[in-house]
């Protein structure tokens, strides 16, 4: 039922909505200085799609995101078919809002970009970074892919080796000692 609902919603994207999305995309493009690569927010397009508000905000945002991404990908394909070359390239990405950065060489990166960083307590040289603002305000000459590549490789800023790091949280559904006993029993059964 879930997938049927999704398919029905994407089938309900009207041509007028696609026109409004394309107009809004051009408006954001001009507003951001006509850079070759820009990041747009789902909220920029929320007015176009009439989705019923759900009690669960995450569910609503997921449906909105799916609908807008589908519409943008349709526009990309349509413009390619119409003009024979890529006028619009859509890369649906959710990751460039906030991320974790660790400076492996001291605090050079943290001092230079302190307004974009928040220190993570208990972690040596790890910061929460507002990546979208950092990219758009301090590295506008870099494309999105180049910015991410330099951040991942630690070559974004001369004299600093700040790299993107992941944060992983594990939620245990049972007590850790119970899980440990089961894992020990499993490994023991594998060796006998």
Assess whether pLDDT exceeds 50 at residue 14. yes
**Backbone torsion region of residue 84, taken as left when φ is above 0, otherwise alpha when ψ lies between -120 and 50, otherwise beta:** left
pLDDT greater at residue 106 or residue 109: 109
Assess whether pLDDT exceeds 90 at residue 1. no
Q: What is the pLDDT of residues 115-171, one digit of tens each?
A: 999 998 888 888 888 888 888 889 888 877 788 788 888 888 888 888 777 665 667
Q: Encoding tokens for residue 109?
A: 């990166």
Q: Note if the pTM is more than 0.75.
A: no
99, 131 in Cβ contact below 8 A?
A: yes
The C-alpha atoms of residue 86 and residue 80 are separated, in whole angstroms, by 5
Task: Summarize the chain as % helix, strand, coil (round to 5).
Answer: 50, 10, 40
Which of 59-68, 91-100, 106-115, 134-143 is predicted most confidently? 106-115
165, 109 in Cβ contact below 8 A?
A: no
Sign (positive or negative) of CA dihedral 37, 114, 112, 164: negative
Assess whether pLDDT exceeds 70 at residue 94. no
Assess whether pLDDT exceeds 50 at residue 4. no
What is the percent of the chain with per-residue pLDDT over 90, rounded to a whole number?
7
The C-alpha atoms of residue 33 and residue 141 are separated, in whole angstroms, by 12
Give the residue among 91, 112, 92 at the shortest CA–CA distance from 101.
112
Q: What is the pLDDT of residues 109-126, one digit of tens each?
A: 888 999 999 998 888 888
pLDDT at residue number 103: 82
DSSP summary character for residue 53 = P
Backbone φ, ψ for residue 123 (5° rounding):
-120, 135
104, 163 in Cβ contact below 8 A?
A: yes
pLDDT at residue number 54: 65
pLDDT greater at residue 91 or residue 142: 142
């Amino acid at each position: 039922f879930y997938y049927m609902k999704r398919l029905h919603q994407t089938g309900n994207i009207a041509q007028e909505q696609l026109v409004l999305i394309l107009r809004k995309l051009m408006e954001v493009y001009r507003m951001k200085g006509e850079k070759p690569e820009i990041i747009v927010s789902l909220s920029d397009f929320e007015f176009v799609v009439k989705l019923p508000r759900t009690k669960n905000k995450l569910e609503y945002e997921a449906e909105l995101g799916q609908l807008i991404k589908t519409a943008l990908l349709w526009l990309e394909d349509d413009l390619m078919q119409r003009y024979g070359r890529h006028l619009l390239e859509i890369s649906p990405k959710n990751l460039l809002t906030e991320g974790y950065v660790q400076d492996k060489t001291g605090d050079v990166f943290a001092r230079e970009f302190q307004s974009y960083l928040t220190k993570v307590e208990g972690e040596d040289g790890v910061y929460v970074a507002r990546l979208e603002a950092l990219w758009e305000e301090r590295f506008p000459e870099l494309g999105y892919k180049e910015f991410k590549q330099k951040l991942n490789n630690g070559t974004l800023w001369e004299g600093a080796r700040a790299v993107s790091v992941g944060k992983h949280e594990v939620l245990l559904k049972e007590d850790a000692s119970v899980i440990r006993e089961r894992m020990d029993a499993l490994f023991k059964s594998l060796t006998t």
